[in-house]
Chain A
């Protein structure tokens, strides 16, 4: 979707290095999410945000941190990347509780 941009689209990094993925939205949506998708698993929630500086953990938050200093940006940081964090990462947003989510195009991260 044109209103959500994930960067980078692809990244290869080494084990033990920090990595930050960015989700940028121009929709002024209140809610933002980070998911990961792996073969054999559905999308799994890592962290979410319900407003600026308001974030909480999802079901697979270990090894990840997030920050949301302004409405449009939601950053996902892998403090020290591991091979188990090789995955496709999706950002999603929505404005109101009942709305469907809008997803970004994803970031394919490979940790070697």
Chain B
């Protein structure tokens, strides 16, 4: 079973910030939070990851709460091309390399 909980769907107006929440209340100290997205029928695309500090790259920002039990992916200026299913995944570096994929959040711009 996936170790994260995400809302099944969200809407966001074009040009506004899209804030996608993820709950990972059972996260362990050595587990990173990863975000991917999948645009219809394409391969998943890596967005960002973090351990405990907030992270930002050219695509998005990742905000992790201090207790690490939840996180938010922020797309600062959503466009139609950001319509996709967004997956939040936790993964330990000492795991057997498996990512456990849940159902994700369908973001509609």
Question: Interface on A for B, CB 8 Å cutoff?
Answer: 1, 31, 33, 42-45, 48, 50, 56, 58-59, 88, 90, 92, 97-98, 100-106
Contact = CB atoms under 8 A, between A and B. Distances in A.
Given A42-B2, A42-B103, A42-B104, A101 B46 contact: yes
Contact of B99 (A45, A104, A105): A45
Interface of B: 2, 32, 34, 36, 41-49, 87, 93, 96-104
Contacts of B102: 42
Contacts of B96: 56
20 contacts: A1-B43, A42-B100, A42-B104, A43-B101, A50-B97, A56-B96, A58-B98, A88-B41, A92-B43, A98-B49, A98-B93, A100-B46, A100-B48, A100-B49, A101-B36, A101-B99, A103-B43, A103-B45, A104-B43, A106-B41
